[in-house]
């Protein structure tokens, strides 16, 4: 989701370096985006967005706490939010190691309420 500090809902964005998956998604949804700063970690992007350096594209889970506390607000813009489909592939539940089976169950439980 595209988020920004209250009062910083427009302008150059804080994002990841060119070539990163998030940067690619951002540029595809917003071709003429202006970049204020490129950072190397989710935490750095989130912290700079909270500090008001500029809006940022981050996952809803990453910024849920900041949005709930009012430190960040969701920015309404055409092309956002960006929804991606994630796929979990394996060779059969019976072949999964216990840790992998537990991870699969957690992923399914997490995705269920968020599925379209």
Question: How many domains, in total, are found in the chain?
Answer: 2
Same domain, 27 and 68: yes
Say whether pLDDT at 9 is over 90: no
Element (H, E) at 63: helix 60-69
Same domain, 9 and 39: yes
Residue 16's domain is classified under what CATH number? 3.40.190.10
Q: Can you give the residue range of the structural domain that contains 44?
A: 2-74
Q: Is residue 25 part of a domain?
A: yes
pLDDT for the residue numbered 39: 96
Q: Is residue 79 part of a domain?
A: no
Query: Mean pLDDT score of the chain, rounded to an integer?
Result: 91
Q: Is residue 10 part of a domain?
A: yes
What lies within 8 Å, CB to CB, of 78 at 6+ separation is: none
Question: CA–CA separation, 25 vs 21, rounded Å?
Answer: 6
Question: CA–CA separation, 60 vs 15, rounded Å?
Answer: 15
pLDDT for the residue numbered 113: 62
Same domain, 17 and 45: yes
């Amino acid at each position: 989701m595209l988020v920004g500090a209250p009062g910083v809902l427009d302008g150059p964005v804080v994002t990841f370096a060119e070539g990163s998956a998030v940067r690619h998604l951002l540029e595809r949804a917003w071709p003429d985006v202006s970049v204020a700063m490129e950072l190397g970690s989710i935490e750095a992007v989130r912290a700079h967005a909270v500090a008001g350096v500029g809006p940022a594209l981050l996952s809803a889970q990453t910024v849920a706490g900041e949005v709930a506390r009012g430190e960040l607000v969701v920015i309404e813009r055409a092309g956002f939010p960006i929804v991606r489909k994630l796929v979990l592939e394996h060779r059969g539940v019976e072949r999964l190691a216990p840790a992998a089976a537990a991870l699969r169950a957690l992923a399914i439980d997490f995705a269920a309420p968020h599925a379209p």
